[in-house]
Amino acid sequence: MNNKYQVYAVGIVGILLFTLALSALPESLNFFREEKSAMFAFTLTVIMIMLYEVRLAKSSSEDIFLRTIPGLKAVEEAVGRSTEMGRPILYVPGIMDMNEVETVAGVVVLGHVANMTAQYETELDVPVARAIVMQSARQVAKEAYMTQGRPEMYNEDMVHYVTDDQFAYAAAVNGIMQRDEPAACLYMGKFFAESLLFAETGNSIGAIQIAGTGSQTQIPFFVTACDYTLMGEEFFAASAYLSKEPELIAGITAQDIIKVLLIGFIMLAIVSRAFFDLGLTDFNLITLLNL
Amino acid sequence: MKFLEDIILKLGAVDRRFIFILIGLAVLIPLLTPISLPVRETPTTVKFYEGIESIPKNSKVLVSFDYGPSTRPEIHPMNVGVLRHLLRNGNTIYISCLWPDGIYMALDALEEITDEVNPDNKSTFNIKEYEDYILLGYRPGAEAVIKGLASDLRKVYTVDSKGRFIDDIEMMDDIKNLNDFAYIYSGSAGYPGTFEWVKYGGDPTGVPMSSGTTSVQVNEVIPYVQTGQLIGLLAGMPGAAEYEKLIAVPGIAIQGMAAQSFAHIVIVIFIVFGNLAFFIKQRRDRKY
Amino acid sequence: MLLKRYIPVAIVAFFGALTLSAWFIDNETIETFANDDATQFFDIIAAFAVFLGALNLLKLQFIKVLKQQSEWQYSAIAIASFFFAFIIGFFIRGAFFVGEDVYFSQQAAEEAVVAMNSSDTVRPVDWGAHVQTDGSLFQWMFKYIFSPLSATMFALLAFFVASASFRAFRARNLEASLLLIAGIIIMLGRVPVGSLISSWLIMYIIAFSVGFGVNAYTRNRNMALGWVLGSFGLITGLGFTMGWPIDQPAIFYLPALQEWIYLVPNLAGSRAILIGIGLGIVATSLRYIFGLEKSYLGE
């Protein structure tokens, strides 16, 4: 443990020196934006910590502790419930395109859910709002069914395109919910105002609902109306959590370390700003770092 | 007492369709029989108003219509109010749209402004296209459009919404990019909208900007107001109503406030009854 | 393996690293690529990909109609609507000017010229501009079909918020109670009706509610009654002294309280969640760029 943090300390010093060196390059060779030095150093620090944690996880035999995330534990319960009731699972990977990280995360979680539905022989319905997402989701679902040895159960129409328009999509998904009455509704991705429309309709049909999103404004609606909600980081950790792969879980450990560093920096910035406002110092850390 | 408790328990377990009917009536009745309620301005709206007032007269202002018909009740009154305010101060308006629906909202807003008559039955704003305003139109690409506008407007707009070449329009002669505008305003209902304008428009160029957003987005946008990246904010329909009061032109937002007020009261009453029923049930379950 | 795994991962890694480095590198070519070209590449791909989606949609709806599956009538409407919008957008100009007036068809425009004895000629609007022209057929479709439908769906939220709040806002524990109280304060404080509620009324309500708490804690009705009467008396005395101003003390005035909740605890919580989400996005993106996560490829 101590060794790891020593490595990080040395690494951070190295990154700072490297950034300073880049800023000190002569004009003719200077391709670096000096005003973004702080962000550059932070980005390199994040990359260093992440790659080192992954390396440690690969070489270590110990399990990395992850706290229980009820929403993710409930995914298997939801699939089981659908199987028992003989009703399908509805999976909504958000309404945005694959250029959003949340959508990619949603499609990744779909892969895990498709693994389970293949295993339990449960019907899966994935209406999507973007054609590229349709292609990607189909690929992921197909691989999941192949991996489980159930290629005959896969049908490419289980992932189908509806429409790009937000409320037309919401109307279509609500219609699917009311006609097909899925036993479980999973909402994983980026959502806007239609989130409550989905959640309330799902509630009215008595489905178990699990939502995961990084859309800050929609989290309260999902928390209110769904049985389980993965908020922000929990959603991005879902893939690691469900796959239980050490490399992916190491990414979450890295996130935690970076968060601690950030908190430390915020405290330092507050103290620096307080000293500056009180006239005790003549510099302010935030303006110094051009943040 | 038991009788009262039983009634409250029944109310606590009421079918949601009953709630829907009451909400429907709470919204419909004030809209059909207008009720006037006092509107109190909030600091963010006052700051917004003062921001627009402080634009030097006869300046060039970019107004972006970044919403669709679903969020029209919240954002449209704001945008119409902003157009009124700007035109009153003699500014010229350049209208862009990051949403495909935005162009139709812009056309409606301009129609509303053009059709408005004063007590003498004369047009309040005798505005002419290509003199007082230009409708640049919708371009796909979200933040790419804003980045394009920030560097070279003609990369994004070669023709306006009517197909007329930008270079043939006198109003566009002095406009190379966002730096040539005195102010940027975005009426935004989501993505792309306020964030993208702040990140790629206002911040990099330093052009003062502000925005009107839906109530739900206010949470996300308020930090920008605190840091000064947005000069005030119009927050949802209440914000639009406050702004209508400040510009002294009451419109649909002020009318809608009574409906919104009564709807909120109905929701609060149901929440209170729901909780009372919850406590009564808990107490009865404990007894038995 | 090469096509399915290594090449896609290499493409992701290359473009991800290029876009990330564009933020720090002062080079016009890389900047232009990251800021303009990359987004446009994506938009072009997405635009063409819509054909795949549209064909899939039509295929499924046609199958439903042909096999007369349950509620196939909705599928028939969906197909008809699709082709209606498609034809109007691509094949029908729908906007012909006679002076300032716009007509849907050339024939209608010519008839108008004859009827008005006008010397104006019929001017067809340019292709492209025909979807944005005021008074065009496309705009008619947008105004009278699409807009009301969109607005209706959004309006459902008003009803759903009411039913969700009614169902979920229960004071089960301390956190739920705080959520409930904050929700009520925001709901009432945000609208004009909140500014009509005097802060003194709120004080009376709080004093009365605390009385219940005193009763529950002490199990002594006399003490609870004493508390209620005492606090009521104190509030009344204060009120007479201050002249019953509606918005004082400000801490009990709903609009002021609502603003404070928005700007202080709510903002603090939002920022914390936002930082967490931002970190999550950074970490997730880096996992994709470095090829640590390949699940989106179907691995």
In tens, the pLDDT along C242-290 reads 999 988 888 999 999 998 998 889 888 888 888 888 888 888 888 888 8
Specify which residues B66 forms β-bridges with.
Answer: B188
- Residue C104 and residue C140 in contact, taking contact as beta carbons nearer than 8 Å: yes
The partner residue sitting opposite B222, judged by closest CB among C159, C167, C262, is: C262
Q: Please, which residues have CB within 8 angstroms of residue B228's CB and are 6 or more apart in sequence? A: none
CA distance B171 to B157: 14
**Is the pLDDT confidence value at A1 over 60?**
no
Does A237 contact C280 at a Cβ distance shorter than 8 Å?
yes
The partner residue sitting opposite B274, judged by closest CB among C170, C193, C196, is: C170
- Give the per-residue pLDDT at C35: 76
CA distance B26 to B261: 9
Does B144 contact C36 at a Cβ distance shorter than 8 Å?
yes
Pair A177, A250 in one domain: no
- Give the per-residue pLDDT at B127: 87
% pLDDT > 70, chain B: 98
Specify which residues B138 forms β-bridges with.
Answer: B97
- Give the per-residue pLDDT at C38: 84
What's chain B's length in residues?
A: 288
- Report ipTM (2 d.p.): 0.85
Two structure tokens written together for C170: 């229960």
DSSP letter at A279? T
A241 within domain boundaries:
no
Tell the residue number behind the tokens 């063409």, with chain if given.
Answer: C48
Nearest to B260 by CA among B17, B14, B45, B29: B29
- Give the per-residue pLDDT at A46: 92
Pair A28, A74 in one domain: no
Measured in degrees and rounded to the nearest 5, phi and psi for residue C101 equal -85, 145
Closest Cα in chain C to B264:
C187
**Chain C touched by A56 (CB under 8 Å):** no
- Give the per-residue pLDDT at B21: 94
Pair A213, A98 in one domain: yes
Angle (deg, nearest 10), helices B252-287 and B16-32: 150
H or E segment and range at residue A236: helix A233-236
- Give the per-residue pLDDT at C25: 87
Measured in angstroms, the CA of B260 and the nearest CA of chain A are apart by 18
Pair A223, A102 in one domain: yes
**pLDDT grade for B245, boundaries at 50, 70 and 90:** very high
What's chain A's length in residues?
A: 291
Pair A74, A217 in one domain: yes
Instruction: Tell me how many residue pairs between chain A and chain C have CB atoms under 8 A apart.
Output: 182
Pair A21, A48 in one domain: yes
**pLDDT grade for B258, boundaries at 50, 70 and 90:** very high
Does B42 contact C154 at a Cβ distance shorter than 8 Å?
no
Measured in angstroms, the CA of B218 and the nearest CA of chain A are apart by 9
Mean pLDDT across B65-87? 95
- Residue A209 and residue A74 in contact, taking contact as beta carbons nearer than 8 Å: no
A284 within domain boundaries:
yes
DSSP letter at C3? I
- Residue B201 and residue B194 in contact, taking contact as beta carbons nearer than 8 Å: no
Does C283 contact A247 at a Cβ distance shorter than 8 Å?
no
pLDDT digits (tens, 9 = 90+) for A97-122: 998 999 999 999 999 999 999 999 99
**Is the pLDDT confidence value at C239 over 80?**
yes
**Is the pLDDT confidence value at A64 over 90?**
no
Does B267 contact C190 at a Cβ distance shorter than 8 Å?
no
| A285 vs C161, more confident | C161
Pair A190, A264 in one domain: no
pTM of the model: 0.89
Does C283 contact A203 at a Cβ distance shorter than 8 Å?
no
| Helix, strand, coil distribution of chain C in percent, nearest 5 | 75, 5, 20
The partner residue sitting opposite C36, judged by closest CB among B148, B260, B261, is: B148
- Residue B240 and residue B249 in contact, taking contact as beta carbons nearer than 8 Å: no
**Strand locations in chain B (E):** 60-66, 92-97, 133-138, 183-188, 209-213, 233-235
CA distance A214 to B38: 38
Domain boundaries, position A228:
70-236
Nearest to A195 by CA among A178, A175, A177, A215: A215
Give the strand pairing for B183-188 and B133-138: unpaired
CATH of the domain at A151: 3.40.50
Pair A261, A181 in one domain: no
- Give the per-residue pLDDT at A2: 62
pLDDT digits (tens, 9 = 90+) for B154-203: 989 999 998 899 999 999 999 999 999 999 999 999 989 999 999 999 99
AA letter at B237: M
Q: What is the residue-averaged pLDDT of chain B?
A: 91
AA letter at C111: E
Instruction: Tell me how many residue pairs between chain A and chain B have CB atoms under 8 A apart.
Output: 17
Does B39 contact C190 at a Cβ distance shorter than 8 Å?
no
Does C163 contact B20 at a Cβ distance shorter than 8 Å?
yes
Measured in angstroms, the CA of C21 and the nearest CA of chain A are apart by 9
CA distance A256 to A251: 9
Pair A101, A232 in one domain: yes
- Residue A144 and residue A118 in contact, taking contact as beta carbons nearer than 8 Å: yes
Best B191, B196, B267, B271 member to test A by mutation, with max A CBs in 10 Å, is: B191
Mean pLDDT across A192-204? 95
CA distance B22 to B222: 33
- Give the per-residue pLDDT at C299: 64
pLDDT digits (tens, 9 = 90+) for C132-185: 788 889 989 998 999 999 999 999 999 999 999 998 888 888 888 888 999 999
pLDDT digits (tens, 9 = 90+) for A265-284: 999 999 999 999 999 888 88
Measured in angstroms, the CA of B239 and the nearest CA of chain A are apart by 18
CA distance B262 to A40: 52
- Residue B205 and residue B25 in contact, taking contact as beta carbons nearer than 8 Å: no
Q: Would you put residue A285 in left (φ > 0), alpha (ψ -120 to 50) or beta?
A: alpha
CA distance C191 to C195: 8
Measured in angstroms, the CA of A217 and the nearest CA of chain B are apart by 6
A145 within domain boundaries:
yes
Specify which residues B209 forms β-bridges with.
Answer: B184
CA distance A273 to A285: 7
**Chain A touched by B204 (CB under 8 Å):** no
- Give the per-residue pLDDT at C173: 86
- Give the per-residue pLDDT at A15: 93
Mean pLDDT across B109-114? 92
Measured in degrees and rounded to the nearest 5, phi and psi for residue A45 equal -60, -45
Residues of chain C with Cβ-Cβ distance to B268 below 8 Å are 184, 187-188
Does A217 contact B191 at a Cβ distance shorter than 8 Å?
no
Nearest to A179 by CA among B280, C277, C23, C69: C69
**Chain A touched by B4 (CB under 8 Å):** no
A31 within domain boundaries:
yes
Q: Please, which residues have CB within 8 angstroms of residue C227's CB and are 6 or more apart in sequence? A: C207, C210, C211, C214
Pair A155, A122 in one domain: yes
Q: Subunits with at least 3 CB pairs below 8 A relative to chain C?
A: A, B
Specify which residues B213 forms β-bridges with.
Answer: B188, B235
CA distance A143 to A257: 34
pLDDT digits (tens, 9 = 90+) for C186-211: 999 989 999 899 999 999 999 998 99
Nearest to A19 by CA among C20, C24, C28: C24
Pair A45, A112 in one domain: no
- Give the per-residue pLDDT at A34: 83
Pair A83, A222 in one domain: yes
Residues of chain A with Cβ-Cβ distance to C288 below 8 Å are 101, 104
Please give the tally of structural domains in chain A.
Answer: 2
Q: Please, which residues have CB within 8 angstroms of residue C148's CB and are 6 or more apart in sequence? A: B69
Two structure tokens written together for A158: 């289980």
Closest Cα in chain C to B101:
C142
Torsion angle of C-alpha atoms A207, A211, A215, A219, degrees rounded to 10: 70
Mean pLDDT across B18-47? 91
CA distance C205 to C216: 17
Specify which residues B134 forms β-bridges with.
Answer: B94
**pLDDT grade for C86, boundaries at 50, 70 and 90:** very high
